[in-house]
Structure 1
Amino acid sequence: MCTAVTLQTRQGETFFGRTMDFSYDIDPHLFIVPKNYEWTNRVNMAALANTYGFIGIGQELEGELFLFDGVNEMGFAAAALYFAGYAKYDDCSENGIAAYDFLHYMLGNCASVEELKALTKSVSIAGVKDPVTGTAAPLHWIAVDRSGACAVVEVTEEGKSVMDNPMGVMTNSPEFPWHMTNLRNYMDASPWQTEKVNWGQVELTPFGQGGGSMPLPGGFTSPERFVRASYLKSHVPMPEDGGEAVTSCFHIMENISIPKGAVIAARNVYDYTKYTAFININTCEYFFRTYDDFQIGTTRFYEYDFPAPRLVDLGGL
């Protein structure tokens, strides 16, 4: 369970962020993955090298890096979200990339959403078990570049799809086109106050402000979060600059974040928002806060210059 949102400022800066909602124990750290860093393709054990360097949030387990989100030096950002019940990966092949490595592969090789579309034509996405969940975790991906172009990558029974995402929002199952169609059920939602009406001889008046938002769903399912995120990002005033954008981004996510105890997974554990992170794609700067600490931390890719192509752990969030 996660939600991702894009937002742009009047100055032309693009922001991209997500909530990490998860029922498994994770220990997210910030990593610098430099240009020319070599890593192993877990499908065919071949060595791969990144064309671009990037900064991202992930976890290192058993000597392997598992990324959750990130942005590269070209201003291309992406995140992996759960896609339970719908992800159907390709069979392993020579040109295959493990699903949990596909985010790394994108960040290391794409400078734009258009390049992502070309890249996905030449690779297959394979299901390989990861040590976090012990399964071939069902995933789909959202990507955005400095222009504000946004796309979604999904692999289902229908095959692999790279779809433009004009809303700039993504959650979880079902497929992205279903979510976009479902928005039509909430066309009456509005920030404007409802007027009084008469039912026969009875006059009905609103209880107060906010009556126009009554149609919005209030639960934590993926469709409900998609609708709320889409409504909020579409109606918040366009931020003037990056500072206003950060404020707007976190306020949007406050309405979608899951408090501990509100959702309990089938394994009888809490599924809640472990962290919320936003990225200024133009400056490659991260803004983040965790469930237990509302103070916003920040770091940026360009603060670090490592001559050797080695993975650098900047520490936990």
Structure 2
Amino acid sequence: MKKIFLSILIASNLYPCTGISIKSNENAYLQARTIEYGESNLNSKLIIVPKNHSFNSLLPNTKETGISWKSKYNFVGISVINERFIAEGLNEAGLNAGFFYFPNYGSLEKYNKKYKSKSLVDLQLVSYILSNFKSVEEVKQNIKNLKIVNIAYDKDNNALPTAHFRVADSTGANIVIEIIENGKIMIYENKVGVITNSPDYPWHIKNLNNYVNLRAGNANNFNVNNQEISSFGAGTAALGLPGDITPPSRFVRAFFYLKTMPKLNTKDSIFTAFHILNNFDIPIGVEFSNEHKEYIPKDILSATQWGSLSDLSNLEFYYKTMNDFSIKRVDLKNISFKEYKIINLNEEKQINDIKI
């Protein structure tokens, strides 16, 4: 257990993830995201979970366990650090859930042994949602029955940073769950189809007002005192689109790409979603200042370690990794779900020759 907590403690510094929501012209609902961590390999695995699989929650800084349950639904997901911590997944009912780092704003209720049987650590909330519920409405009705607590506390007894959560279903319902002020649960309808990290979701929506001028195409040419002022090239109507890797800038950029994306069939929407996510790849080393370059890890090629997409309407889960850009598909309709499985992601670094 100590090793798990140590890994979480180390990993609590950077998770700049970006999520987008797309509806195809065939009315398929897609939820895509990246996951970043630039300090070590997350050792992510593909996890296959059948119905009736037994779960129990870890508790902060103790060997005891909290809430126990059995899964009502089959689901697949990708873990981070430990197989119990599903960061993103899809269940057989078409419900999708994922967590996104939320430092300095997320604030969970402190663990109280009195509520041990109702307590669930934040990094297991996605597993709890996917294994128990079939719709966003069910999640909204039941999440307040839980005591969601931090995975651990540091040496000064400060809670480790937590996450906020995106949940969506095949009807198109899409919410962001944020837990603030020592356990106050806030639920927002995700109307713009974007999520990143801190600040809170309402702040990001207000910040979009700073970019009302952005649009696709070019700005209009104009003439001043017989001097023609014109565009250097394509895209001048988007001049001012922020390009840095901060959460507010990524939120604006993701919103702009979604707003300007044409309506496509489901297959093309899936490919386009991954192309949009490519804009949020973070090369390894960008987040390290000059005095910290010696700490750049040698075992990863990118801070963006994987990206995924859930097709909620057709029950398909897609992913690609930092070492293999080809898109893999897991069709939930073709899985027997006879047993719990942990499957390595394709982590082989390779370039394939084309045979001519």
- TM-score w.r.t. structure 1 length? 0.91
**Aligned residue type for 2:340:** L
Match of 1:316 in 2: 345
Tell me, which stretches of 5 or more residues in structure 1 are unaligned?
none
Which of 133, 138, 147 aligns to 1:110? It is: 133
Shift of the alpha carbon at 1:10?
A: 1.1
Shift of the alpha carbon at 1:114?
A: 1.1
Aligned pairs for 1:1-317 (under 5 A) are: 1-23=16-38, 24-43=40-59, 44-59=65-80, 61=82, 65-93=84-112, 94=115, 95-129=118-152, 136-157=160-181, 159-200=184-225, 202-240=227-265, 242-264=266-288, 268-269=295-296, 272-307=303-338, 310-317=339-346
Q: Deviation string for 1:145-203 (max 9, x for gaps)?
A: 11111100111127211111101110000001000110111110010211112345533
Whether the aligned pair in 2 keeps the contact of 1:18 and 1:277 (CA below 8 Å) is yes
Residues 191/46 of structure 1: CA separation in 2 closer, same or farther (3 Å cut): closer
Shift of the alpha carbon at 1:261?
A: 2.6
Identity of counterpart residues, as a percentage?
A: 28
Bigger drift between 295-304 and 173-182 goes to 295-304
Q: CA separation in 1, counterparts of 2:163 and 2:220? A: 44
Aligned residues: 310
Shift of the alpha carbon at 1:35?
A: 1.2
Higher radius of gyration, 1 or 2: 2
Q: Deviation string for 1:280-313 (max 9, x for gaps)?
A: 1122212211112211111122222133xx4211
SS at match of 2:205: helix
Q: CA separation in 2, counterparts of 1:60 and 1:284? A: 26
Q: CA separation in 2, counterparts of 1:35 and 1:199? A: 70
Q: CA separation in 2, counterparts of 1:98 and 1:161? A: 17
SS at match of 1:35: coil
Q: CA separation in 2, counterparts of 1:238 and 1:306? A: 34
Whether the aligned pair in 2 keeps the contact of 1:129 and 1:137 (CA below 8 Å) is no
Q: Deviation string for 1:13-71 (max 9, x for gaps)?
A: 1111110111242111111111111011223434211121100011473xx51111000
Residues 316/137 of structure 1: CA separation in 2 closer, same or farther (3 Å cut): farther
Residues 251/306 of structure 1: CA separation in 2 closer, same or farther (3 Å cut): closer
Q: CA separation in 2, counterparts of 1:12 and 1:121? A: 31
Shift of the alpha carbon at 1:215?
A: 2.1
Tell me, which stretches of 5 or more residues in structure 2 are unaligned?
1-15, 60-64, 154-158, 347-356
Residues 160/200 of structure 1: CA separation in 2 closer, same or farther (3 Å cut): farther
Q: CA separation in 2, counterparts of 1:30 and 1:244? A: 24
Q: CA separation in 2, counterparts of 1:156 and 1:269? A: 32
Whether the aligned pair in 1 keeps the contact of 2:33 and 2:307 (CA below 8 Å) is yes
Q: CA separation in 1, counterparts of 2:35 and 2:95? A: 19
Whether the aligned pair in 2 keeps the contact of 1:228 and 1:256 (CA below 8 Å) is no
Q: CA separation in 2, counterparts of 1:8 and 1:52? A: 24
**Aligned residue type for 1:41:** S
Bigger drift between 183-192 and 39-48 goes to 39-48
**Aligned residue type for 1:114:** E
Bigger drift between 152-161 and 11-20 goes to 152-161
Q: Deviation string for 1:109-166 (max 9, x for gaps)?
A: 1211111111122112101229xxxx73421111111111110011112721111110
Shift of the alpha carbon at 1:277?
A: 0.9
Whether the aligned pair in 1 keeps the contact of 2:42 and 2:81 (CA below 8 Å) is no
Q: By percentage of residues, which structure has more strand?
A: 1
SS at match of 1:25: coil
Match of 2:6 in 1: none
Q: Deviation string for 1:238-277 (max 9, x for gaps)?
A: 112x211111101111112212232228974467211111
Bigger drift between 115-124 and 72-81 goes to 115-124
Residues 48/247 of structure 1: CA separation in 2 closer, same or farther (3 Å cut): same
Match of 2:156 in 1: none
SS at match of 2:26: coil
- TM-score w.r.t. structure 2 length? 0.81
Q: What is the root-mean-square deviation of aligned Cα atoms in Å? A: 2.2
